[in-house]
Structure 1
Amino acid sequence: MQDHTLQPGQILARGVARHLRQHDFVSIEEFVPKRGLRVDVFALGPKGEFWVIECKSSRADYMADGKWQGYLEWGDRFFWAVDADFPSELLPAETGLIVADGFDAEILRMGPETRLAPARRKVMLQKFARHAASRLHGWRDPGVSAFCDPAPSRPRP
């Protein structure tokens, strides 16, 4: 995929995901922990830890985000990912900070650790696995998902 087809936030997410792979994290972009929330990058670390990363491409993008605090309860750490020109003084000091571009990133400030409860961790791990497998299936066999995905009204086994 070429950069000209990606939105600025997607470019940041790609750089963040590449950097996190160097730390043995795997990640999913646009992950939905619950209805109404969509995490830009949701990362699973080698010890089972979850990091939530919100990508902000501009001051206006950040100012328009009124629900970021709702993401805090879905991961062990929370980070903002911004580019080098972003006015980082706008971001709360008690959150993590990653500076990224489309190719790599650097963690400038670790977000404080707030461990998920074991029951929530299990649910998030299952959602992560199902989401990743579903994306892989859609990529491997495009178009079949519309015929095979369970209908929203059908009970799941």
Structure 2
Amino acid sequence: MNYEVLLKYYGDSLAAIEKLMADVPDERLAEQPAGLRNHPAWTLMHLCVGNDFCLQSVARAPVCPPDWGALAAPGSQPKPERSAYPSKDTLLQTLQKQHVLVAEGVRAAPPGHFDLPAPERVRSFAATLGHIVAYMLAAHENNHLGQLQAWKRVAGLGKA
């Protein structure tokens, strides 16, 4: 598999997230307008938690503080309090750092690394480390980018 192509899409998704969130006031990141469950503070933290999983899949250390996982793991419930989450700048800076480290890890992976089995807890979704990494690079952030775009429109903050 050509991971350079996937890394390009991964970089494009970060650029789109940064552009989308640039004019969103930090204090509004935990709003849940019209019943939208996943607000931007949770979504950005969830992306950071997911990128830590990707980092581990390329034999790199996680970046997020340990308590982020419980707040933003798949299936967790977003809290309505803005104070429960880091600042927008902290979340975006964490994503930026993770993107650099993930790209380094992907490029440094030894032959056969991506053929290794995924952790047992995710094997029904992704059989190998390569499946995990390909999904994280090409799909995960873009899926949540759509949620952020919908949130921004419903929150009355302009076109997404």
TM-score in terms of structure 1 length? 0.27
Structure possessing the higher relative contact order (Cα contacts under 8 Å, 6 or more residues apart): 2
State TM-score, norm by structure 2.
0.26
Higher strand share: 1
**Greater share of helix residues, 1 or 2?**
2
